[in-house]
Structure 1
Amino acid sequence: MDNTNQGKSLIKGDVAIFLRGLIIGKVLTLMVIGGLLWWLLKPGLLSRNNSDSSSQSLKTTSSNASTFGSLADVPTDSFNYGGSTAWAPIRQVVDSQILSARPELKLRYLDPVNGSPGSTSGIRMLLNGQLDFAQSSRPLTDEEQTIAKKRGITLEQRQVGIDGIAVVVNPSLKVPGLTVDQLQQIYLGQVTNWNQVGGPNLPITPFSQRPENADTIIFSSNSGLKQRALGSNVKYVYSTTEAVRQLSKTPGGIYYASARAVVPQCRVKPLPLGRTAADLVSPYREPLVSPEQCPRQRNQVNTEAIKNGSYPITSNLFVIIKQNKGQEHKVGDAYAKLLLTDQGQKAIEQAGFVSVR
């Protein structure tokens, strides 16, 4: 090969090497740039992936949430139930949703033939075989448990919600509030004038349902006061409706009942309560709605204070179930479980009470 041809071959070889190096260099540059871009975008991708994962998790949780329709072993038949008047909003709001979702379950509310409706009469009717399960806004008493035992019956109380006990007075009464002790002294007849508790010189007229029929209590079972007779000045009423009517005409009147039943009423004023005079808590959400603003606006129950325990008097809502392994047991158990589903607990809150889950 001559020198000319040899030079040309060398030049071609150098060009090939140069081009190969250039291509490799570009590939490496693209790889570096691609890696850099991936590294910069990685947090956003992770964030989006996490967001998608969280969204999917929420969808899964939502789809797995317990509902009235998802509960198994709901008996198919007609059943009778009854009891506490404080449960009226639950019967209106919650039970209607249950019966719509589970039409195979037919529930009929029964009032007592004799006496006023309430927790006591409902439990008595359950023991007498007139009801398949009962609704109570207080725990079973020792006496009721004893009667059940003598009849060979075992009763279970299953809590499904919480209610506050509110104290209401005539709207014209000027008093900052009461302690639990002052309230109890009023109903025991030990405090008889409002000037004894920071109010005007005005006799106190306490209204109450008869203790044996009352759905709410202001003396706990371990207070030593539960069995004491109320004061001679206490005026007994058949129902909360009657009490509200009487209070609107009695300047010195006072009454206590389910917060859900009396706080929204236009003709009475709910009072703050406290364990001490320094920690009075309103049973209503501030600010107070005046009678002049009602019914365009109504006071709402302070469910947050009831839930966190700062409100001093509450009552638990129980389904009373016969543990006899029969149809009564099945329907009582199913009804309580329906109320304790996610849907049931939300509906209880819609009715103005506090959930337990």
Structure 2
Amino acid sequence: MPIKKNLYQEYRCYCNTPLNCDRPLQTVIDTPEAKHLPVKYCTGCGFPAIIAQNTEIKGNRIYKVTSFLGTRGLGRMYSGVRIDNNQPVVIREYLLPNRSFNDEETRQRKEKFQRVAGVSLADGRNQNFRLINAVEAIKDERGERCYLIIQEVDVSQTLRQYLQENGAMEASQVREVLNQALQTLQFLHTQKLRLPANQIQQGMAHGNISLDSILIKLEKNQNHQSNQQFYIYFCDLAIYESLFEHPTVQASQAKPEEDLIALGLAAFYLCLGRDIDSNSGQPLNPKDDRLWSNTDSHLKLFLHQLIGLDTPFESAEIARKALLQLPKPSQSNSFTTSQQEEKQEKGWNKTWFVFWGILALILLGGGMWYFLRPKYPSLKRENPLWSRLVPNFSDVPNLPPREFTYTAEKNSTWGFILRQKPQTTKLVEETLTKVSNTTFNYQAVQSPDVRVRSLPLDTVRECTIQSCKAYFAITSFPAEDGGLKSQAIASDGLLIYVAHSKKDSNLPQLLKGKISLDSLRKIYTGQITNWKDVDKNLPDLPIKPYAPTEPEAVLLFQKRVLNDDPQSIANYKTVTTQYTQATEETTKVIRAQFDENQAGIIAFGIIGKVWNQCNAYPLAISDSDNKGNAIQPLFKPEGQPIDPDIDLCIKRNYYIDESNFQRYPLGNQLFVVYPKDNSLPPGGSAFCKLLITREGQSLLQKAGLVPLLSLPENACQ
């Protein structure tokens, strides 16, 4: 639940809210010598003053304060720069005033702050789930302050500030806020996360959701508010924000179900344009039915469930699925007052006439779309990103009229994708080589050892105006240095598969369609060599653990399944030496060997080579021995995961569900990597922009990749 404001009652502030008082700022402005003082306090009550301009904050890097931005929640915000590279940052200052916290409380909270302030995916994936995260957490060793350093993003307006400037949101906008917010909560609640001190935990509740901890980024150059596109970001997680509550406040363990309630209340306030009753000064009560409008009754019922006034949703994922299945509002999307409803009733005849006119236009437009629609297939409608993408390659502006050479690892996912013919007899490589007046020539290179060095990335790093062998690279692993920019263009990953036999007792059925990462680890390091040792109900049959030949796929397996452990990797190489071959060859022999009781092959391979064949069954994967949480990425047309009873040889429209795939333990992304140097021709950003169009995402999906679900606003810049 949202953190309550701390009034620091030990300080006799004239406005009774020292954190939001302007006198600490005035102290710095009015005191010429303030910049020379190591510690500054408000001249009125003694509360810690605003940090003076040009003050340096030292952590792993040194940062300099440039200006005070304001307060949010329990912290103050400053703009700043990282001194060694002059990169802009946002500095969030937290206070532990000595009149409110004793020395031991201060010490404990500072230490915990450094341990928990910031989260990332435990497996190292670099995915954007619209969560404002910290670059560094710094404790002031001798003072009363802690600092959170945030890489500057052009997102600073809270939903509260948005309401103050724009008033209530329309129902369609509230739906989109909920859609994006629930997607982020689904990620936060279910993913395996890593904290700064290297602790791993399965999921985390936000615990501090309110109009002040949800930020909104409006797309630029949009004139009509009702159609304005935006992105929603979460910030100020309770795991570290609550450390700066007054010691008398008893912190409780944040729970995912409380996040859903808090989000529902925030959406309720967005509908109304305010959260406080002007007469009582208390928060508006969603139980007061007079506050609700009937113009979007479906959204109202949904919010009742989200807030808990009706049967609550069990998870963010279930709530989001229900949201996406809501019927569209039958009337205006805006929340109206009773007076507006009365006017609508008086003007019923006019509205009825307009309704039929609009319906006729919709039918006419639908007919035109049917005959003039693009020839490439659409992604599923529930993908929230789809409607925001540029439609076609031809709609991408400012493509540079020149030739670019680019690269990727030899025998990689990208090389496979380029050889596919997803729609016609034309290869993907042919489609992407010439777009308008821009030419992209592909040249693969082979790294001696991708674990040690990526030759494609090294080639891009060496690109200069005078000489450039490759302007960008396509890779399964993002660059980790400051000179290159990595932008995800699609999701990829590994499928673990066994023989899909027609025998009465076959491995998919005996395994109940799933396997744990721990069992995989033991199989591929030689600790388990017979299926009966995986489970007593399995046959007495030798295991042959096969591996593919793609270096990036093997590296991903070693990172995700073997946890990058050197001894496990050495054992893996010993076990798989005689069983390493192309995935296409493995899928040819896997069923025959099982049917003839020779061996039970288990293998892994990239999605594009495994998902659309029927000799092998892709297993659901769990990240623990509790296989109840196993994730199956392949879905039936009816919207349910496949099961071992299915006959994959009966061709149907099986697909990878994008939303479900975000939780798949062996999922990964494919990146375009290009130099940040703006003096170079923008080949990488141009290619990237093409691939994140609807046409590009559809092309990649048909070729064997998984479309993206989200993009940062500065994608491909």
TM over 0.5: yes
CA shift, 1:290, in A, is 8.6
The change in CA–CA distance for 1:95 and 1:70 in structure 2 (over 3 A counts) is farther
CA shift, 1:318, in A, is 0.5
Equivalent residue letter for 1:348:
L
Residue number in structure 2 paired with 1:162: 491
Q: Is the 8 A contact 1:349 1:355 kept in 2?
A: no
The change in CA–CA distance for 1:303 and 1:97 in structure 2 (over 3 A counts) is farther
In proportion to residue count, which structure has more helix?
1
Q: Distance in 2 between matches of 1:214 and 1:39?
A: 64
Residue number in structure 1 paired with 2:654: 300
The change in CA–CA distance for 1:238 and 1:205 in structure 2 (over 3 A counts) is closer
CA shift, 1:72, in A, is 2.5
Equivalent residue letter for 2:353:
L
Q: Is the 8 A contact 2:401 2:438 kept in 1?
A: yes
Residue number in structure 2 paired with 1:253: 601
> Residue 72 of structure 1 aligns to a residue in which SS?
coil
1:105 counterpart = 2:438: yes
The change in CA–CA distance for 1:114 and 1:347 in structure 2 (over 3 A counts) is closer
Gaps of 5+ in 1: 1-37
Q: Distance in 2 between matches of 1:289 and 1:74?
A: 47
Q: Distance in 1 between matches of 2:672 and 2:586?
A: 26
The change in CA–CA distance for 1:305 and 1:178 in structure 2 (over 3 A counts) is farther
> Residue 707 of structure 2 aligns to a residue in which SS?
coil
Q: Is the 8 A contact 2:546 2:581 kept in 1?
A: no
Q: Distance in 1 between matches of 2:549 and 2:389?
A: 46
Q: Is the 8 A contact 1:83 1:117 kept in 2?
A: no
CA shift, 1:336, in A, is 0.8
Choose from 612, 630, 645 the match for 1:280.
Answer: 630
Residue number in structure 1 paired with 2:353: 45
> Residue 553 of structure 2 aligns to a residue in which SS?
coil
| Cα-Cα RMSD | 4.3
Consecutive aligned runs of 4 or more in structure 1 exceeding 6 Å deviation: 52-59, 61-64, 113-119, 289-293
What is the CA deviation profile of residues 290-314 of structure 1, one whole-angstrom value per residue up to 9, with x for unaligned ones?
Answer: 99863x626834324644x343320
The change in CA–CA distance for 1:110 and 1:103 in structure 2 (over 3 A counts) is same
CA shift, 1:330, in A, is 1.1
Q: Distance in 2 between matches of 1:211 and 1:225?
A: 17
What is the CA deviation profile of residues 313-352 of structure 1, one whole-angstrom value per residue up to 9, with x for unaligned ones?
Answer: 201111111333355x511111111112233233333334
1:72 counterpart = 2:426: no
CA shift, 1:214, in A, is 3.2
Q: Distance in 1 between matches of 2:616 and 2:389?
A: 44
Equivalent residue letter for 1:123:
L
Q: Distance in 1 between matches of 2:430 and 2:621?
A: 33
Gaps of 5+ in 2: 1-345, 370-385, 423-427, 463-467, 594-598, 637-641, 711-717
- Bigger shift: residues 240-249 or 174-183: 240-249
Equivalent residue letter for 1:109:
Y
Equivalent residue letter for 2:441:
R
Q: Is the 8 A contact 1:112 1:125 kept in 2?
A: no
Q: Is the 8 A contact 1:259 1:301 kept in 2?
A: no
Residue number in structure 1 paired with 2:470: 131
Percent of residue pairs identical: 22
Choose from 587, 600, 621 the match for 1:244.
Answer: 587
Q: Is the 8 A contact 2:489 2:670 kept in 1?
A: yes
Equivalent residue letter for 1:273:
I
Equivalent residue letter for 1:136:
T
Q: Is the 8 A contact 1:283 1:311 kept in 2?
A: yes
- May I ask how many residue pairs the two structures share in their alignment? 306
Relative contact order, CA 8 A, sep 6+: which one is greater?
1
The change in CA–CA distance for 1:292 and 1:70 in structure 2 (over 3 A counts) is closer
Q: Distance in 1 between matches of 2:399 and 2:554?
A: 28
What is the CA deviation profile of residues 254-298 of structure 1, one whole-angstrom value per residue up to 9, with x for unaligned ones?
Answer: 22122222121233222222233113333322456999863x626
The change in CA–CA distance for 1:319 and 1:291 in structure 2 (over 3 A counts) is same
What is the CA deviation profile of residues 110-138 of structure 1, one whole-angstrom value per residue up to 9, with x for unaligned ones?
Answer: 23368799995543554566433211123
1:312 counterpart = 2:649: no
